Amino acid sequence: MKPIDLLAQGQVNIWMVEDNSRYRKSLEAVVNSADGMVCRESFSTCEEALVRMEEAPLPDVILLDIGLPGISGIKGIQRFKSFSMDIHIVILTIYEDNDVVFDALCEGASGYLLKDSSPEKIVDSIREVLQGGAPLNMRIAHKVLQLFSRIKGRRPDYGLTDREKEILQYVVSGMTKQQIADTLFLSFHTVNTHIKNIYKKLEVNTKAAVVSKAYRENLFNPDV
């Protein structure tokens, strides 16, 4: 391990949590041979790392495996981040299951690499994270974008008119019929009629159900 003064010189403090000791050691070597970074601590479980975090200087980046004994990497992300939101977590795992990826990213991982990544790629990724980037494995990035297209994906068309869509927004915002009428300078009765028609088209019969349906099916802005 390199002397402390290197840290003062801007050496980036990398930690590693990886239960495969052979892989961990080879990765340590890779990181330590890279300019400007040093693997100061490495662990085989999240628990050990969390204990160490109580006293040691906090890492800048943690390379984190997911399939760990004890606390999983996913849970680990939250715990690590609770020490400081400035700690960047880069997932390094074999899992490319949709749910795992999704959960990890939701918990605040800054990057997601697969273990088939080359040492150079891993080092580059650490640099990218430190520059505010988010290194993603090619296949992972593709999965991420797929999740997006699913969000705004197939919106069933209920044939709402423009006015109905507009009023739907207000209903969703939680306004009362009278409030909507006042806002749009309409009669209460008009708003009432529009909402009646929306109910028929969406096949619901309460405001709560409309709001729920609107959110679940992304019945928003452009074309409902």
Partner DNA sequence: CTGAAAATACCACGAATGTGCGATTGCCTT
Partner DNA sequence: AAGGCAATCGCACATTCGTGGTATTTTCAG
What is the rounded CA–CA span in Å between residue 9 and residue 29?
20
Minimum Å distance from CB 99 to DNA?
25
- x/- mask, a copy of itself, residues 120-159, rule CB under 8 A, reads --------x--xxxxxx-xx-xx-xx--xx-xxx------
- x/- mask, a copy of itself, residues 22-51, rule CB under 8 A, reads ------------------------------
- Binding residue for a copy of itself, selected from 53, 110, 164, 191, defined by CB under 8 A: 110
**What are the tokens at 143?**
């999965």
What is the rounded CA–CA span in Å between residue 197 and residue 171?
13
224 makes contact with DNA (CB under 7 A): no
**What are the tokens at 155?**
């919106």
Minimum Å distance from CB 215 to a copy of itself?
4
Residue 88's H or E segment, with its range, is: strand 88-93
What is the rounded CA–CA span in Å between residue 136 and residue 79?
22
177 makes contact with DNA (CB under 7 A): yes
Out of DNA, a copy of itself, none, what residue 164 binds, judged by CB under 5 to 8 A for its kind, is: DNA
Q: In this structure, is the dihedral angle defined by the CA atoms of residues 98, 100, 106 and 108, taken in order, positive or negative?
A: negative
- Answer whether 123's CB lies under 8 Å from 31's CB: yes
Residue 188 or residue 220: which is nearer to DNA going by CB? 188
